[in-house]
Amino acid sequence: MRKERFVLLTVVALGIVFASFVVRGVGQLIVGRDSAVLVSAPIAVIGFGMLVYLFVRATLDAVGVWTIE
């Protein structure tokens, strides 16, 4: 993985997490709290999962196990 792609994936992951908050907020106004949480939860999990993967990948790069080119 190139460093440019790593940075791009980080920005995308943060955007997905931000989008989940927007979906939840707007969803509460439109369909109610329970439905908004139900819709925004998978989006948040995907974004958080991406951030965890990128954190582990950066840690492995810092240790020298799996380098980011």
In which domain, by residue range, is 21 found? 3-61
Question: What pLDDT is attached to residue 69?
Answer: 86
- Give the mean model confidence (pLDDT) for residues 27-46: 96
Q: Which pLDDT value is given to residue 1?
A: 79
pLDDT tens for 40-59 read 999 999 999 999 999 999 99
In a domain, 49, yes or no: yes
Q: Would you say residue 68 lies in a domain?
A: no
For residue 35, is pLDDT > 90?
yes
> Is residue 20, in this structure, part of any structural domain at all?
yes
**More confident position, 68 or 25:** 25
Q: Is residue 51 part of a domain?
A: yes
Q: Is 13 part of any domain?
A: yes
| Total domains in the fold of the chain | 1
Classify residue 21: in a domain, yes or no.
yes
Residue 43 forms part of a structural domain:
yes
How far is residue 14 from each of residues 2, 23, 27, 29, measured CA to CA in Å? 19, 14, 20, 23
> Does residue 26 sit within a domain?
yes
Query: Alpha carbon 56 to chain centroid distance?
Result: 14
pLDDT digits (tens, 9 = 90+) for 4-25: 999 999 999 999 999 999 999 9
